[in-house]
Amino acid sequence: MMRITSLPSIGFLSLAISLAACAQSEPRIDYGKVECAHCRMNVVDPHFAAVLVTLKGRHYVFDDLACMVQYVADGTVAEDQVADWYICDHANPGRLCDATQAHYLSGAAFRSPMRGDMGAFCDPADRDKAMADGLRRLDWEAARTELLQ
């Protein structure tokens, strides 16, 4: 039989657990299980997936940057409610980074699930390595504008 002796330690433990539960967790994509919030397709490709985090801490997963941009443009989530935009690093499939700081390439060589056809790179060196004929360099704002056309 175990005996619980220290009441303060239990209090401390429960406080620690509840604090940990409150922390803003890093977004995680359950590939193959979750569906895109915009187009309903199952998210399977870690080269193109994206995540939107709202100020309230809600996560929306997308299979394509085009879906995320369109979703906010449609007003399903208002732009001023967005806390973070995450995009998968094309050079490191599955690694998420800040979409507003990412470096983009656009062109038919990128066949993304919903025809956004853009690759995002967290590291500019990776983007320059992937640069080829028929591709164009874009920053976040340019990428967004193009996807909304």
Q: Which residues bind other proteins (CB under 8 A)?
A: 31-35, 39-42, 44-45, 47, 90, 93, 109-111, 130
Q: Select from 2, 107, 102, 94 the least CA-distant residue to 43.
A: 94
- State in angstroms the smallest separation of the CB of 61 from other proteins: 10
- State in angstroms the smallest separation of the CB of 84 from other proteins: 23
**Residue number with CB closer to other proteins (44 or 82):** 44
- CA–CA separation, 77 vs 21, rounded Å? 24
**Contact yes or no for 80/66 (Cβ under 8 A):** no
**Residue number with CB closer to other proteins (41 or 97):** 41
**Residue number with CB closer to other proteins (3 or 40):** 40
- State in angstroms the smallest separation of the CB of 122 from other proteins: 15
- State in angstroms the smallest separation of the CB of 141 from other proteins: 25
- CA–CA separation, 87 vs 102, rounded Å? 8
Classify residue 60 by burial, with Cβ atoms within 10 Å: 0-12, 13-18, 19+: buried
